[in-house]
A and B are shown apart, each in its own frame.
Chain A
Amino acid sequence: MNAAPPLEKDVVPDPTPPENGLSFVEEIHNLLHASVGNPISSCIQCGTCAATCPVASGGFMEHTPRRIIALIRAGFKEQVLKANTFWYCASCYQCTVRCPRGIDIAELMYGLKRYTVWKTQYQKGLIGPVFSETFVKMILRTGRSYEPILATTYIFTFGLPEMIQEAQNGTALMLKGRLPLLPPRIKRLENFKRMIRRIIPLGDSE
């Protein structure tokens, strides 16, 4: 276990030297090698992102975007990957458009989501990763999204009282004629599936 992460206002300690020769911030730069924004090493820790973020300023993120960047640069890999910050990012791009250094912070949040999904290292109990995975699976099968599948997966996976709320809302929408009864699918589905496999060569059996 690494030492406790720095507090919100204090100075960020020197990066912990990585055992494998590559620092965590370099790893993140590699992850974002195609980003149009500036590298996160150019962050000046001004806090604009944290102040402008509607989720962080509501107190819902364990670490603000600013702090996530500080932690990455200080090499606190485990704390960063286990944080809820990027799973609670609403992709509103407020931080991205306001950052004085032109860092695409929202893209960093996407990147961290990918990174943790690939390594299944995300915080346990979060709904975000399961939701994303279900959604992607659904579209690979039909080409379209279908809300009831999402809601159902969601309830089966979590079964919390707030999910019951979701079911109630779903039923109410059904009664108002606002949810479809059958999942839609695209017509050229076979072509579509082959197209997908040229991007990710998934197994052949259907």
Chain B
Amino acid sequence: MSQPKRLLIIDDDPDFVAGIKSILVKAKYEVDVAYNPKDGFQALKDKAYDLLLLDVMMGRGAEGIMVARKLGKDPNLRNMPVLIITGIREQMAFLFPGQAVHPHFVSVDELVEKPVEPKLLLDRVQALLIKSAEARKTNSK
């Protein structure tokens, strides 16, 4: 097997992180964690990652949206796929009860809602990694 893929999780919920990290590590991914957006940006500066798993409600508020938008503008990081994993519907239930979260106002590659099934998580991660590898191939051609 080739080099294990490197994933970064930016999420402030240690219980949730512990859960998905163990799933991903079992599936032979190399996983780093940042528990706040500031550390997250530092990690992205220090190392190259193949995929980012990003939470929304952190720190001051919906900072995940801020992170995603900033990455979208960064020429070095723009091509890294971003998978948003959010509990926002539950966290802000009083604001939009029963509605699905629409990623319309922020461009991310995928959005799944917490709690996330292990199989769904692994499927999405793999699909995004394949998609970005293909995109890179066509780009380099």
Contact = CB atoms under 8 A, between A and B. Distances in A.
Interface of A: 18-22, 26-27, 30-34, 114, 117-120, 133, 136-137, 140, 194, 197-205
Contacts of B88: 200
A204 B12 CA distance: 26
B65 A27 contact: no
Contact of A22 (B14, B100, B102, B103): B14
Interface stretch (B1-9, B30-38, B74-82, B132-140): B30-38
Given A18-B14, A31-B12, A34-B60, A200 B95 contact: yes
Interface in B92-116: 92-96, 99-106
Which residue of A21, A33, A133, A199 has the most chain B CB atoms within 10 A of its CB atom? A33
B104 A140 contact: no
B17 interface: yes
Contact of A200 (B35, B58, B65): B65
B99 A31 contact: no
B57 A201 contact: no
21 contacts: A22-B35, A27-B12, A31-B58, A31-B59, A33-B39, A34-B60, A114-B61, A118-B57, A118-B91, A194-B105, A198-B105, A199-B62, A200-B61, A200-B62, A201-B62, A201-B65, A201-B101, A201-B104, A203-B101, A204-B99, A204-B104
Contacts of B120: none
B14 A20 contact: yes
Contacts of A133: 94-95
Contacts of B60: 34, 114
Given A30-B59, A118-B91, A133-B94, A20 B105 contact: no
B105 A201 contact: yes
Nearest to B58: A30
Which residue of A32, A120, A140, A200 has the most chain B CB atoms within 10 A of its CB atom? A200
A119 B95 contact: no
A21 B17 CA distance: 10
B113 to A, nearest CB: 12
Which residue of B15, B36, B38, B104 has the most chain A CB atoms within 10 A of its CB atom? B36
A133 B56 CA distance: 19
Nearest to A203: B99
Contacts of B58: 30-31
A39 to B, nearest CB: 12
A45 B92 CA distance: 34
Nearest to A199: B62
A20 B65 contact: no
B127 interface: no
A31 B12 CA distance: 8
Contacts of A120: 90, 93
Contact of A199 (B65, B94, B96, B104): B65
B95 A202 contact: yes
A202 B91 CA distance: 12
Given A31-B59, A114-B60, A198-B106, 14 more contacts: A27-B14, A30-B35, A30-B59, A31-B58, A33-B39, A33-B59, A34-B59, A118-B92, A136-B95, A137-B94, A198-B65, A200-B61, A201-B103, A203-B101
